[in-house]
Structure 1
Amino acid sequence: MKITIISVGKIKEKYLKDAIAEYAKRLGKYCRLEIIEVADEKTPDQASETVEEGIRAKEAERILKNIKDDMYVITLEIQGKMLTSEELADKIETLGIQGKSSIAFVIGGSIGLGKAVLDRSDFALSFSRMTFPHQLMRVILLEQIYRGFRIINGEPYHK
């Protein structure tokens, strides 16, 4: 199975880069992992909804260039469906059984995802009703994907 993480913005903090590298290494045992960073747009303070919509549209265009037709797309959205770790594992396993060998997880920028990406999404996933920095969300997502593969393979994981 191929897992692609498409994320808006670059990771600058060393501790986050280290955590991402560690989970990428661990996931190598279970899947082919690709992490794609697309450029983010600068959002001015007190930007109008129209300006924010334009920013999300530009970022969406960059994201969509990296989504292939055969990918099952899971967008991370505050209003998405919340799953337990076991339910996420089951979702990944079920997609594999159904022949979906390529899953793309999409993490938006600081003001969220554009409509074009939301329209392309096959499943909206929420980790919480709280807002997290999108850089930290990448680490959390990778940890949950790793945990999911351990659950799928009947391996021990921390509860």
Structure 2
Amino acid sequence: MDLVTQYLGRLPWKADITEIDIKKQAANAAERKAREAERILAAVPDGAALVALDEHGKALKSRQFAGKIDEWQATGISRVAFVIGGADGLDHSVLAKADLKLAFGTLTWPHMMVRAMLAEQIYRAWSINAGHPYHRD
């Protein structure tokens, strides 16, 4: 069992992963990002908070991240869509629609590692908000 499946499987709700792969590569990065952005934005459920993982985003502590999710839930938002961009990063149209731009530091991470780190942080946020002892300060 991989880490993503392990952490998401611990959650009391269902979590889906949608991978968007652009089959026909564009000639340049801007075009690739624009094509990818169209598909990403079309996949975001209506009414969902959109979190874009971006190196220029906010570096939140786990409790701050959990607080943001709790805040959304308190205002009636029941779905959160997390977006990890392609090799060229995210198009400005995705970043402009993001409710939160989140950074996992200034290092560049492989996509599969980011998925695992994100899944763990989602589980950690749930545990913090639920009063579960998983997270320790």
Structure-2-length-normalised TM-score: 0.90
One-letter identity of the residue aligned with 2:2:
D
Q: Do 1:23 and 1:142's aligned partners in 2 also have CA atoms closer than 8 Å?
A: yes
Q: Does 1:110 align with 2:87?
A: yes
* Runs of 5+ unmatched residues, structure 1: 1-16, 45-49
CA–CA distance in 1 between the matches of 2:82 and 2:18?
10
CA–CA distance in 1 between the matches of 2:55 and 2:134?
26
Q: Where do 4+ consecutive residues of structure 1 move more than 3 Å?
A: 40-44
More strand by share: 1
CA–CA distance in 2 between the matches of 1:121 and 1:41?
25
In the alignment, which residue of structure 1 is the partner of 2:119? 142
Q: Do 1:85 and 1:148's aligned partners in 2 also have CA atoms closer than 8 Å?
A: yes
Q: Kindly report which structure 2 residues correspond to 1:30-109, keeping only aligned pairs within 5 A, or say none.
A: 31-40=13-22, 51-109=28-86
One-letter identity of the residue aligned with 2:6:
E
CA–CA distance in 1 between the matches of 2:114 and 2:24?
19
Structure-1-length-normalised TM-score: 0.79
Structure 1's 39 and 74: CA in aligned 2 closer, same or farther, altered over 3 A? same
In the alignment, which residue of structure 2 is the partner of 1:156? 133
Matched residues, number? 136
Q: CA RMSD, aligned part only? A: 1.9
Equivalent pairs: percent with the same residue?
Answer: 39
In the alignment, which residue of structure 2 is the partner of 1:26? 10
